[in-house]
Amino acid sequence: MQLNTIAGRTYNDLSQYPVFPWVLCDYTSTILDLEDPSVFRDLSKPIGVVNPHHAQNVREKYESFEDPTGTIDKFHYGTHYSNAAGVMHYMIRMEPFTTLHIQLQSGRFDVADRQFHSIPAAWQARMESPADVKELIPEFFYFPEFLQNLNGFDLGRLQISQDLVTDVELPCWATSREDFIRKHRKALESEYVSSHLHQWIDLIFGCKQRGEEAVEALNVFYYCTYEGAVDLDAIANENERKALEGIISNFGQTPCQLLKEPHPPRMTAQNASRRQARLDTLPSNIFEHLSKIRKFMEVVSDGLPLVQAVVPKNQNHSIMQGTDTLVTVSSNGLIGTHSWLSYDKNITNYFTFTKDLTMTNPKTQRFLGGPFSPGVVIGAQVLVVSNDGRLLFSGGHWDCSLRVTQLGKGKLVGRICRHIDIVTCLALDLCGIYLISGSRDTSCIVWQVLQQEGFSCGLSPRPMQVLCGHDQEVTCVAINTELDMAVSGSKVN
């Protein structure tokens, strides 16, 4: 559900309703054995090709499609796994979805055979036709009432059997609606699904949502469903724009792509238990009571104020019985890398701190390379430490450069000049993958932090993105990889 929320899915928009997977393929047995892998759906494949007999037809449809106008890209499916009509289909027995469904069907209920009247029949429909690719909604895992016709709506009769459509027919292994929800949720949280759900996440939110991997996975949908595929503001014709808005709203919308790399598999319960057992044997790094918090003071730079003090995020933390690193930069550019080991109840000050001895020896002192532009004050705004504590990125230099300093030796290892005025602010994303710089030239640039053998080693020489739009000097920036978003602020006229 968190992935749905981050991707912009919401209960308040039927065209962007949260999407959940079909997790089972056995709806006919009298007993549901969640220890048997054969009762689960193949989560590595889109719902349209879970039946392997459909794969060839879907592939041929994609390869043979050609749009003479060149506007429409090739696609595997002409429908979508999540759209407004699909949500109304599942929720037809509950208001306000009932009224919305009637409005969609020109003032009446749809034909009974096309309604959601049976869970086994709904699954069978997906197995019989690659055109029906609807996934599930969250209510299948917590809300038994949506399966009951509490309002007594006249939903018609099935054409062949003439059975009256009332409550939803349940699988044979469910004794009641509540029992179905309980077992269905248990299936979602089972070991099998936990160990394979990352494959479905790749299809819906991740690396197989777009591009060549989506093509190989038979997971390409109509081009209008993808975020950013259509620039509505560029369409001058009002009728064309409204028509396209209607298609996007009713046809379905693919979630925002959250991941460009494969999602890691979830740890098994057994491995998680072993990991927790190991962690439980380590000393705690958290105070049980706020009254036990103690202040600590250490002079690390005689007579000079510190303008930056950072504890890098990705390092050996004290809970793993290794020392943490504290990186400091003084107002004159003097660099210090201090070590500390937190929380030892046998020590009065609760933790040990080891000052960087190179700061007091003129022969070993490390300084941030300059000179800086006149009027620029060295501070946290133009200084950023990589997540592993190996590199220091700095702006504010006279030559409009963005510089990279190796903290271990204080050596300048990178100097990039892409801005045409002074770099005024820097920010690193939480994962330490991307750096954003802001400048007096009113632009922002996104850079990739290069990695070598798992460690930060520099910046890509070419920008990932150049962002414009400000009229004045950029004064602050922030970037978030998970949200695929950068934010910047500037001076006001």
* One-letter-per-residue 3-state SS of 288-321: CCHHHCCCCCCCCCCCCCEEEEECCCCCCCHHHC
CA neighbours within 13 Å on the CB side: how many for 360?
A: 7
pLDDT band at residue 285 under the 50/70/90 scheme = low
E strands, 331-482, where? Answer: 334-341, 352-354, 366-367, 383-385, 391-394, 402-406, 411-416, 423-428, 434-439, 444-452, 455-459, 465-467, 474-480
**Predicted confidence (pLDDT) per residue in 155-205, tens digit:** 999 998 899 999 999 999 999 999 999 999 999 999 999 999 999 999 999
**Predicted confidence (pLDDT) per residue in 355-384, tens digit:** 888 888 888 888 887 788 888 888 889 999
Share of the chain above pLDDT 70, in %: 92
Distance CA 67, CA 56 (A): 21
Per-residue pLDDT averaged across 20-48, rounded? 95
What pLDDT was estimated at residue 482? 79
Percentages of the chain per state (helix, strand, coil), in multiples of 5: 30, 20, 50
Residue 227 or 107, more confident: 107
Phi, psi of 60 (to 5 degrees): -65, -35
Distance CA 88, CA 98 (A): 7
Quick one: DSSP state of residue 362?
A: T
Residues 408 and 426 sit within 8 Å (Cβ to Cβ): no
What pLDDT was estimated at residue 345? 56
Share of the chain above pLDDT 90, in %: 57
So what CATH class is 2-251? mainly alpha
What pLDDT was estimated at residue 320? 40
What pLDDT was estimated at residue 250? 78
**Residue 76 CB coordination number (10 Å):** 25
Which of these ranges, 31-45, 86-100, 230-244, 424-438, has the smallest mean pLDDT?
A: 230-244
Per-residue pLDDT averaged across 97-108, rounded? 93
301-490 placed in CATH 2.130.10.10 = yes
In this predicted structure, the answer to whether residue 299 has a pLDDT above a threshold of 80 is no
In this predicted structure, the answer to whether residue 403 has a pLDDT above a threshold of 90 is yes
Cα→Cα distances 317→299, 321, 329, 340, Å: 23, 7, 22, 10
Per-residue pLDDT averaged across 478-492, rounded? 89
- Structural domain spans, the chain: 2-251, 301-490
Q: Tell me the average pLDDT of the chain.
A: 88
Residue 309 or 422, more confident: 422
